[in-house]
Amino acid sequence: MTMDQNNDLNVARQGFEISLNKLQSDILLLGDLVIQAINKSINSLKTRNIEQSQEVIKDDDSIDELETQIQVLCVELIRKEAPLASDLRRIVSALQIVDELERIGDYAEGIAKISVTMGKLVPINELVLIPKMAENSVSMLSRSLESYTLRDFSLCSSILEELRTKDKEINSMHKQVQKELLNTIKSDSSEGGEQATYLMWAAHNLERIADRSKNIAERSLFQVTGEIN
């Protein structure tokens, strides 16, 4: 390509380029809101802070609203710009990622609802491995969002491999948590058993958050390769 063509490349479809950049920043904003929701929901579960749990439940509406705004922007860009090649892949992956993020937001809201249901019950056994699962899930989600911004085959592939390994680790932790909580349910017919039942669901949600974070890394790689696995 000539120098002139490169310059043209920078100015051509400038409005479209601005919209694509807005799409990316909106997705990162949604990602931030979702990460905050996970952290707050786990904190409220640990500290029995019902008000904070209710805040997470209320804030989920903002996540849903932003999801809709991003979807509207994607549909508008498809309608107006008839995107092809990398532009099309960026918009398709954005639509997929926004769906994953909204669902992760729902899992955080789910944990907050569990926390509200548990009320002031004192947590058992320091919530077993649940805080650690949450920490790892949030780390996976952050990495997957980093991958989304990179748009580089080698870096995105490497992050996906890393997240696949971490996802397996979280699956193992989930199994261990289930085992411990089942033992509690079997042995404790009072409050402890009740708490363990709730915590099973919280652990399930965290395992799903890890799965969907891995999905985001897969969509990020699709953005580069156009290959659907």
Partner 1 sequence: MEKIDNQTIISSGINENIIKFEESKNILECENLSVNYGETPAIENVSMGIPKNSIVSLIGPSGCGKSTLLRCFNRMNDLIPQAKVRGSVKFYQNEIYSDNVDSTEIRFRIGMVFQRPNPFPKSIYENIAFGPKINGLTDNLDEVVESSLRRAAVWDEVKDRLNESALSISGGQQQRVCIARALANNPEVVLMDEPASALDPISTQSIEDLIVELSSEVTILIVTHNMQQATRISDYAAFMLAGEERIGRLIEYGTNEQVFGNPKDNRTEAYVTGRIG
Distance CA(120)–CA(67), nearest Å, equals 33
Site string for partner 1, 68-107 (x = CB under 8 A): --------------xxxxxxxx------------------
Tokens of 33: 């809101």
Using rule CB under 8 A, residue 8 touches partner 1? yes
Site for partner 1 in 28-67 (CB under 8 A): none
Residue 60's Cβ-side half-sphere holds a number of Cα atoms within 13 Å equal to: 21
Stretch that binds partner 1, among 5-13, 121-129, 156-164, 169-177 (CB under 8 A): 5-13
Distance CA(222)–CA(83), nearest Å, equals 16
Helix extents (H) in 48-152: 50-81, 85-118, 130-150
Tokens of 84: 């092809």
Shortest CB 12 distance to partner 1, Å? 5
Tokens of 4: 């002139």
**Quick one: 154 or 189, whose CB is closer to partner 1?**
154
Shortest CB 15 distance to partner 1, Å? 11
Stretch that binds partner 1, among 2-10, 36-44, 116-124, 167-175 (CB under 8 A): 2-10
Shortest CB 79 distance to partner 1, Å? 12
Distance CA(184)–CA(171), nearest Å, equals 20
**Number of residues forming the site for partner 1 (CB under 8 A):** 18
Residue 228 DSSP label: -
Interface residues with partner 1 (CB under 8 A)? Answer: 1-2, 5, 8-9, 12-13, 16, 82-89, 225-226
